[in-house]
A and B are shown apart, each in its own frame.
Chain A
């Protein structure tokens, strides 16, 4: 098992903020809108450096999505910022009609996704956003795993024509991917080559998957670990290539088991290479208040759960 280390833990939302600031310097067409969460989204540096390109919308997310759609007419590249729940569920129809169906070049940037925002509880813990966004024709859906990757993704989506949903989060997590990496939209990243089981993880659970891989290695199980940062368009070739070797799959995501990464992978397997598969995802339930680690454990998303899922699926393969 390849060894992954990190020097510090950082929040993915700060990676977004750093990327946005860099975009401000390098791309005059980038504009940013925020619905009264400038601090939470780490958009303050951009707002301070480029006040003429930063638009405070107030607590009015529906309006924000429409304004962003309109701003693309004339060549701007708007980045909207609010929590994941208010970036999707609250404004689904605005995104659907004014952005996706209208084919507008808006980048919907969403912090506090999944359970790990913690103590605020279920009103803010959206576990349905990947599903909603991936169902929209033409929408690109990205869920990054650490600070460096989120920064790289933020830079990459400005160059990508079309609407994008960029999902990241609140807690400080190991920053283990390379600094100044090139982010390739739609291209899975193989973190560890293995032969017994494929673990496809996204977002914060990529680090949990790496830890699970180490534990499995100690028990003599060779896990292939792949970071699926882009859920749509899905890197089907990478998935099938891995599965051809391992012949069983674990998916891991901080999202409902209904409609997320697991379902996208299952569709690919069903069509091309049906093999046993286990989901590490939230069961059909809402979240609750708690510390991020406590929540990952209680809702079945931590390292232990990935290890157990891998062992279960290996048994099914026999």
Chain B
């Protein structure tokens, strides 16, 4: 499986990007970003049909992606840059003054690849549904993907959107929840127990899938399977099990890495576990 190995190599570089970006400004959210690196790599380098340049906000005849849990912007920016939306060198400006790479993603500074601002949680599913419905109205056969945090689904708007998408049969939408069971204050189970998360989405009328988000083969297969299951009357929800901090042993499964930057020593230790595969961007 050369192709899977290739994707894994990209994901490794994406993880280096995440750590270097957050470390450089001593600010940002590494934990969830690392956990979603495999998923985001699979989407942008294998699963989605998309045209990075010239960037078209309307995305006609392209697959669209919406990041609802905007705080994992480092992984988003890394895959956007690495897939050609903007120069890789620009990753060095993350969270700095006058940068297009704001702390949370925005269209406001004109960064190619971003189609809506996110950061205030719970809003991205509605936006993705709206975009998917416009695709239907425009007879555009491509898909809309979205990613949400598990803690994020504590927001009420998510469930308004869940009801709506099933009612209106928005079956060209493939949503994913990053189920790492971690949020800022601790384990999701303890902060606000989500209960049987699969049953909840099923009860709302969605076609629910489950996959391991840190196994590249499983992610690619799962996303391709989701595309097969689309257009059959139900929106699709993938519950994606991931490990917060995946790829860096001392960060894994520790919610303290939600929004904390590694220090110099920790960065060195972390990068030693992630070989440079595509070349680091210059700092």
Chain A residue with Cβ nearest B118: A97
CB-CB under 8 A from A62, the residues of chain B are: 122-123, 126, 156-157, 160
Question: Nearest-CB distance from A53 to chain B (Å)?
Answer: 7
* Residue among A60, A64, A65, A75 making CB contact with B134, cutoff 8 Å: A75
Interface 1/0s, chain B 116-139, versus A by CB < 8 A?
A: 111110111111111111110110
> CA–CA, A72 to B116, complex, Å?
11
Within 8 A of B (CB), among A61-75: 62-75
- Say whether A93 contacts B120, CB under 8 Å: yes
Tell me whether A173 is interfacial, beta carbon within 8 Å: no
CB-CB under 8 A from B129, the residues of chain A are: 66-67, 70
> CA–CA, A98 to B125, complex, Å?
11
> CA–CA, A71 to B117, complex, Å?
15
CB-CB under 8 A from B115, the residues of chain A are: 73
- Say whether B127 contacts A66, CB under 8 Å: yes
CB-CB under 8 A from A67, the residues of chain B are: 126-127, 129-130, 133, 161, 164
Question: Nearest-CB distance from A77 to chain B (Å)?
Answer: 11
* Residue among B122, B134, B161 making CB contact with A76, cutoff 8 Å: B134
- Say whether B132 contacts A70, CB under 8 Å: yes
Interface 1/0s, chain A 7-30, versus B by CB < 8 A?
A: 000000000000000000000000
Within 8 A of B (CB), among A25-84: 31, 52-53, 55, 57-58, 60, 62-76, 78
> CA–CA, A76 to B57, complex, Å?
12
CB-CB under 8 A from B231, the residues of chain A are: none
Tell me whether B198 is interfacial, beta carbon within 8 Å: no
Tell me whether A102 is interfacial, beta carbon within 8 Å: yes
- Say whether B120 contacts A68, CB under 8 Å: no
CB-CB under 8 A from A68, the residues of chain B are: 130
Tell me whether A186 is interfacial, beta carbon within 8 Å: no
Question: Nearest-CB distance from A196 to chain B (Å)?
Answer: 46
Tell me whether A204 is interfacial, beta carbon within 8 Å: no
> CA–CA, A265 to B120, complex, Å?
33
Chain B residue with Cβ nearest A64: B126
- Say whether B137 contacts A73, CB under 8 Å: no
Tell me whether B108 is interfacial, beta carbon within 8 Å: yes
- Say whether B117 contacts A74, CB under 8 Å: no
- Say whether A70 contacts B157, CB under 8 Å: no
CB-CB under 8 A from B133, the residues of chain A are: 55, 67, 70-71
Tell me whether A103 is interfacial, beta carbon within 8 Å: yes
- Say whether B64 contacts A73, CB under 8 Å: yes
Within 8 A of A (CB), among B185-231: none
- Say whether B137 contacts A94, CB under 8 Å: no
Tell me whether A101 is interfacial, beta carbon within 8 Å: yes
User: By CB atoms of chain B within 10 A, which of A31, A63, A71, A76 has the most?
Assistant: A63
Chain A residue with Cβ nearest B158: A63
Chain B residue with Cβ nearest A73: B131
CB-CB under 8 A from B168, the residues of chain A are: 55
Question: Nearest-CB distance from A90 to chain B (Å)?
Answer: 11
Q: A65-B126, A102-B107 in contact; A73/B134 too (CB < 8 A)?
A: yes
- Say whether A74 contacts B134, CB under 8 Å: yes
CB-CB under 8 A from B128, the residues of chain A are: 70
Tell me whether A104 is interfacial, beta carbon within 8 Å: yes
> CA–CA, A71 to B133, complex, Å?
7
CB-CB under 8 A from B57, the residues of chain A are: 73
Q: A69-B126, A102-B107 in contact; A94/B157 too (CB < 8 A)?
A: yes
CB-CB under 8 A from B130, the residues of chain A are: 66-73, 78
- Say whether A101 contacts B164, CB under 8 Å: no
Chain A residue with Cβ nearest B58: A74
* Residue among B108, B127, B160 making CB contact with A98, cutoff 8 Å: B127
**Which residues of B approach A to under 8 Å, CB–CB?**
57-60, 64, 66, 106-108, 115-120, 122-135, 137-138, 140, 156-157, 160-161, 163-164, 167-168
Q: Can you add 12 more A-B contacts, CB < 8 Å, to A66-B126, A73-B64, A74-B59?
A: A31-B137, A55-B168, A67-B127, A70-B127, A71-B131, A73-B130, A74-B134, A76-B134, A76-B137, A94-B157, A98-B117, A102-B107
Query: Could you name 20 residue pairs across A and B whose Cβ atoms are closer than 8 Å?
Result: A52-B137, A58-B164, A62-B123, A62-B160, A63-B126, A66-B126, A69-B130, A71-B133, A72-B134, A73-B64, A74-B59, A74-B140, A76-B134, A76-B137, A96-B120, A97-B117, A97-B120, A101-B106, A103-B107, A104-B116
